[in-house]
Amino acid sequence: MYVNLDSKKTNFVVVGGGTAGWITALLMRHLYPSINITLIESQEIGILGAGEGTVPQFVDVLEVLGISVSDLINHADATIKSGIKLVNWNGRGKNDIIFSNFVDSPLTDYVDMTRIQFSQIAMVILERISQGETVDDVVFNAKVCNANKVKFKFNKTDRLRDPVYHFNKLGSISVHFNAAKLANYLKTVGVTRNIKLVDGIIEKINEDKNGYITSFTLKDGTEVPSDFVFDCSGFHRLIIGKHYKCKWNSFKDYLPVNKAVPFFLPIDENKPIPPYTEAIAMKYGWMWKIPVRGRYGCGYVFDDRLIDAEQAKQEIREEVGNVDMPRVIGFEPGYYDTPWIKNCIAIGLSSGFVEPLEATSVHIAVITASLFTTYNNGAVLRCEKTISRFNKIMQEYNNDVLNYLQFHYLGKRTDTVFWKDFTKRNKLTPLIEKIIQGGKDPMHLLERDLITSSLYPLNLILELCTGLRFFDKEIAADHFRALYTGSRKAKYDYAISNLKEIQDKTVNSLIDHKDFLDYILKNK
């Protein structure tokens, strides 16, 4: 239930800068124009700044805040992201490629519309499984990525000052960005929108007799009053974790990666700039490779029970050559059971972190901040039922993330114990156990309502599992032959042929990624 809390007497405090902190502060300012909003950050502590890939919901929220893709390109070295390119997850080398598409862009994407029905999608899945192929040649999003295009068609209108609106956008897009530059830009915007910035370190959290936070005392003695708090303190987890000592739900028995070695690589901007994140399977985990203007942001995420940091760095050198790797980040995958406690909500890394794959941390952070606006009577009225419902939804979302990420590790790669014995060394989620009990029969998913994920629809999971060769080829071939014969198959063949023709024609009409970025920069 939404409650009007737009009052000059209300003090919101955001603890922590960085992307999560400033987006939260800006969203609260947008929704509640008269509230006093203070953001506390410390230049001494700084920000992590490791995450540089996002999801479409991130761009949607920024556009609501009046921050366009053009702004991100101009101020944060942003590039367009239309998906994730999974490389070598089946152990067949550099040409072993699967595109993981956005939540809202599976088989039924922009140019598909109603031209292909779910029954025909099922047929695509069965056919590709039986052939040991991916579905990328019938997914518009994957074709756009392969062509180094972006989902924009030029349609200049001189009346629109922002150059991104000189294009028609065809489907969902997201961005990659330089995390430090984005945080600084958002800070600049935030200060102009009357968000009070306080540079300091919190020394004491003051609360009333019921445990509600009333103010913060900083190291220099400054007192910051608070009626409601957003804990965006990142891995410090200052309030929900350290102050309220919330229960931690660990995923370490399900997802073994727990260390990351981040680094940068040079990018040749005379060559095509990929409009996607690369996730390259390594011997004991995987490596992300994210293009922004001027460089790639990279990192190897690995299981430190199998190799140590020095071995991981050596594997990186074998893959990309000598690079500077000054730090190692450790984490335990999981989340806090109740991200909303009393008058405080944790958003971003402070509420939990599973792993970098699929930009799930950014996804959950945006969802959390947005969901507050629906359940804000928990802040105004301190309604425990509302807070409990909010926390339950966040628990469901985090478990959706776990299910989706664990699917990624169930491919055919078997060259190391990390991959070969993944299902023996790690627990499987109840959902995946049920699917495996079905004998890797794709119809077990197609005909049964096993997946009820709020975040990841069945189509998306089927696409991923098909690319990973998760299902049994012979079983799929038997289903395909039995179900699709005669006129039914003829209709399917026509629909797929028509679909490919429309997709290819549309992709050819789109603008090259680098040309798009250059146009935005030249017309700022």
The whole-angstrom separation of Cα 48 and Cα 5 is: 32
CB atoms within 10 A of CB 292: 24
Domains along the chain with CATH numbers = 11-52+178-248+335-405 (3.50.50.60)
Across 144-276, the runs of DSSP E, i.e. the strands, are 149-150, 152-154, 167-169, 174-176, 196-199, 202-207, 213-218, 223-225, 228-231, 248-250, 259-266
User: Which tokens go with 489?
Assistant: 């198959």
The single residue listed with the structure tokens 């950014």 is 362
pLDDT digits (tens, 9 = 90+) for 222-244: 999 999 999 999 999 999 999 99
Task: Give the H or E element holding residue 463.
Answer: helix 458-467
Residue ranges of the chain with per-residue pLDDT less than 70: 1-8, 45-51, 103-120, 157-160, 378, 448-450
CA distances from 126 to 12, 132, 457, 466, 479 (A): 52, 10, 18, 9, 7
In this predicted structure, what is the pLDDT of residue 449? 66
Exposed (0-12), middle (13-18) or buried (19+): which is 505, by Cβ within 10 Å?
exposed
CB atoms within 10 A of CB 205: 19
In this predicted structure, what is the pLDDT of residue 157? 67
User: Which tokens go with 205?
Assistant: 């959290």
First-last CA distance in the chain: 41
Cβ-count burial 35-71 (b if 16+ within 10 Å, e if not): bbbbbbbbeeeebbbbbbbbbbbbbebbeebebbbbb
Q: How far is CA 370 from the centre of its chain?
A: 15
In this predicted structure, what is the pLDDT of residue 111? 43
User: Which tokens go with 523?
Assistant: 């017309």
In this predicted structure, what is the pLDDT of residue 115? 46
Tell me the pTM.
0.92
